[in-house]
Amino acid sequence: MKQNKPIDFDKILEDPSFIQWVQGEQNSRAQEWEYRYQHDSAAREMMDRARLVVEGIPFHQRFISPAKVNTAWNNLEAELERQSDRPSEKRGKVMNFWKYAAAVIVLITLGGGLYNFYQNREEIYYTGYGERQEFKLPDGSQVVMNANSSLRYQRRQPRQVTMTGEIYFDIARKPETGEPFKVYTPDLSIRVLGTEFNVNTRRARTDVLLEEGVIELEMDSEHRLSMRPGDFISYSSSEKRILSQRSATKPEVITSWKEGVLLLDSISLVSTLALLEETYNVTTVIESKELGDKILVGGVPNDNLEMCVRALRTIYNLEIELVSDSLIVR
C-alpha cells in the first residue's frame, strides 16, 4: 500500500487488509493501515467513513435482502436529487458515499438501533512526532497531548479513557453525580474526581505527576495508592513495583512540554538526546563519549526539530548535525 496514494472509497471497502484493520486483526497489512490512519490526516476522514460501512455490514447482513437495501438507497437518492443543486460530477461523488451510508442505516437500524451504534463508536486521537494537540472532551475536561501519544474512549463513556504516550489532564468535576474520571494506561488505572495531572507511559512504565486535587492509582486488584498535589510516582506493571515515589520539587520541568518547551534541569546530554528521540522519532549518535556527560541547563523547543537543533548548537555550543533521521553530536 503506497502511503501517498489517494484513497479510493469504493476500492478500500473491498480490500481484505482494510477490513482486517477495521476488525482489529494484527498482521503486517493491517498495521500498514493503522500507520496511515495515524500519520495521514488526509486519508483519516475517508478511512473513518469506510470503517462505518465495514463495521455496520457484517453484523446483520445475512438478515437483510438486497431488495431492501436498494429500496432504501433509491428513496434516499430521490430525496437528495430533489434537494441538490450541485454540478453533476460533484453530485455523483456525494451519491456514491450516501449509497453506502443508506445501506448501513438500513442494516444497523433493523439490527439494533442507529443510536446504539453511534453511542458505541470509539473516538480516537493521535499525535505524530513533534506534534502537540489540545482539545476538550465531551464532559468538559481539557486534554493536552504530547508528541507520539494516543487517547481513545467510547462515546457512551467519555469519562473512561485509554492512553499511551504523554498527556496532561485538567478534569472537569461532576458534583451533580459525583462520577469519577478514569484513565487507563498499560501499567495501571487512575481514578479522578476532578484535578490536574500529567501521565507519561513511555520507557515501559507509567509516570504520574499530580498538580492539583486528589487521585487514586489502581496498580492491580489489591494495590491502590492515593496521591496528593506535588506527588510523583513511577510504576512498572512488568516489574510489579513502584520504581519511584517522591515529592516533585520542580513539577514545571515535567509539564513544560505543554508550552512547547523541554526544560533541561541540569541533565546530561545523553538524557537530553533520549528525550529528543521520544519527541521527534530520531536516532542519536554521540561520537565522543566524554560529551555524553555534559550537563545542560535551559530549554529547547518541543515541536520544531530544526529550531531544537539550532538551539543545541548555539546555546550549548554543541557541534550537532541533523542527517536524515539522525542527530549526530561530534
Q: CATH number for the domain including 142?
A: 2.60.120.1440
Q: Which of 35-44, 197-206, 280-289 has the highest mean pLDDT?
A: 197-206
* Cell numbers representing residue 288 in the block: 565522543
- What element of type H or E holds 169? strand 166-170
Q: For residues 30 and 59, which has the higher predicted lDDT (pLDDT)?
A: 30
**Interval 237-260: pLDDT, tens:** 999 999 999 999 899 999 999 988
Length of the chain: 330
Within this chain, do residues 19 and 98 fall inside the same structural domain, yes or no?
A: yes
Within this chain, do residues 126 and 112 fall inside the same structural domain, yes or no?
A: no
Within this chain, do residues 15 and 86 fall inside the same structural domain, yes or no?
A: yes
Within this chain, do residues 106 and 94 fall inside the same structural domain, yes or no?
A: yes
Within this chain, do residues 211 and 164 fall inside the same structural domain, yes or no?
A: yes
Within this chain, do residues 126 and 242 fall inside the same structural domain, yes or no?
A: yes
Within this chain, do residues 19 and 88 fall inside the same structural domain, yes or no?
A: yes
Residue 194 has pLDDT above 90, yes or no: no
* Enclosing domain of residue 105: 9-119
Look at residues 229, 250, 271 and tell me which one is the last residue of a structural domain.
Answer: 250
Q: Residue 144's CB: how many other CB atoms inside 10 A?
A: 20
* Alpha-helical regions (H) of the chain: 9-12, 16-22, 28-39, 41-60, 66-83, 88-111, 114-119, 251-255, 269-280, 305-314
Q: What is the mean pLDDT of the segment spanning 93-108?
A: 57
CA atoms within 13 A on the CB side of 13: 19
Q: What is the mean pLDDT of the segment spanning 119-129?
A: 84
Within this chain, do residues 207 and 264 fall inside the same structural domain, yes or no?
A: no
Within this chain, do residues 114 and 136 fall inside the same structural domain, yes or no?
A: no
Question: Which pTM was predicted?
Answer: 0.65
Does residue 23 sit within a domain? yes
pLDDT at 200: 97
pLDDT at 19: 82
Does residue 255 sit within a domain? no
Q: Residue 309's CB: how many other CB atoms inside 10 A?
A: 20
Look at residues 250, 282, 306 and tell me which one is the last residue of a structural domain.
Answer: 250
Q: For residues 114 and 10, which has the higher predicted lDDT (pLDDT)?
A: 10
Look at residues 250, 277, 297 and tell me which one is the last residue of a structural domain.
Answer: 250
Does residue 2 sit within a domain? no
CATH code, domain carrying 323: 3.55.50.30
Q: Which DSSP string do the residues of 232-252 spell out, in sequence order?
A: EEEEETTTTEEEEEEE-S-HH
State how far the Cα of 185 lies from the Cα of 207, in Å rounded to an integer: 10
Please count the structural domains in the chain. 3
Residue 61 has pLDDT above 50, yes or no: no
**Interval 262-311: pLDDT, tens:** 888 888 999 999 999 999 999 999 888 788 888 888 888 888 888 888 88
Q: For residues 311 and 68, which has the higher predicted lDDT (pLDDT)?
A: 311
Residue 62 has pLDDT above 50, yes or no: no
Does residue 234 sit within a domain? yes
Within this chain, do residues 14 and 96 fall inside the same structural domain, yes or no?
A: yes
